[in-house]
């Protein structure tokens, strides 16, 4: 409805209408991502992991025994982190990941998840699934598929 403020405008106490729909949609996306991320971070705090550290561990688990070069980990991150080296330093200090130089090319540093890292992720899998379901299951399968499609289309202009 024209002139009636949307939920976001009410939530952020905005009295003037948004300049255009794209602005309102973009700000809604940011607000939603922040709210969902805060819930996920609450769970991750219990494991003393940041979102980025959790993301790296999942990437390394998926890579298997071969591991991945640090640059490839950066390319696969859900949210970009400019300092993969520092992230891996923290994970290595906790015994969750390890790095080694490749014998073929000593310039390449490959990171791998350790058994301790695998065990930690295994203990987190079910609580993470339940958290995500708790946050989004109310949308239903059809709406979730539509949401995924719309988000993928929105990223087309930036990828």
Domain parsing of the chain, residue ranges = 47-155
Residue 1 clears pLDDT 50, i.e. is over it: no
What is the band of 101 on the pLDDT scale with cuts at 50, 70, 90? confident
State which fold the 47-155 domain adopts: Arc Repressor Mutant, subunit A (1.10.10)
Sign, CA dihedral 140-54-118-101, equals: positive
pLDDT of residue 21: 87
- Note the pLDDT tens digit of each residue in 70-100: 889 999 998 887 788 999 999 999 999 999 8
User: Interior CA angle at 78 toward 76 and 80, to 5°?
Assistant: 85
Each residue of 4-55: pLDDT tens digit?
567 877 787 887 888 888 988 899 999 999 999 998 899 999 999 999 999 9
pLDDT at 118 over 60: yes
| One-character DSSP codes across 52-85 | HHHHHHHHHHHHGGG-EEHHHHHHH-SS--S-HH
How confident is the model at residue 81, as a pLDDT?
76
- Helix and strand numbers (H, E) in the chain are 7, 3
Judged by phi (left if over 0) then psi (alpha if -120 to 50, else beta), residue 44 lies in alpha
């Amino acid at each position: 409805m024209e002139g009636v403020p949307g939920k976001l405008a009410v939530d952020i106490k905005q009295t003037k209408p948004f300049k255009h729909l794209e602005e309102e949609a973009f700000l809604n996306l940011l607000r939603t991502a922040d709210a969902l991320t805060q819930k996920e971070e609450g769970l991750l705090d219990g494991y003393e992991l940041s979102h980025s550290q959790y993301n790296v561990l999942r990437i390394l688990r998926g890579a298997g025994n071969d591991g991945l070069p640090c640059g490839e980990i950066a390319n696969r991150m859900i949210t970009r982190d400019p300092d993969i080296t520092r992230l891996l330093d923290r994970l290595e200090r906790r015994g969750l990941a390890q790095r080694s130089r490749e014998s073929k090319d000593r310039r390449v540093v490959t990171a791998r998840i350790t058994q301790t890292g695998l065990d930690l992720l295994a203990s987190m899998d079910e609580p993470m699934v339940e958290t995500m379901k708790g946050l989004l299951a109310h949308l239903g399968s059809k709406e979730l598929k539509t949401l995924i499609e719309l988000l993928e289309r929105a990223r087309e202009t930036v990828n």
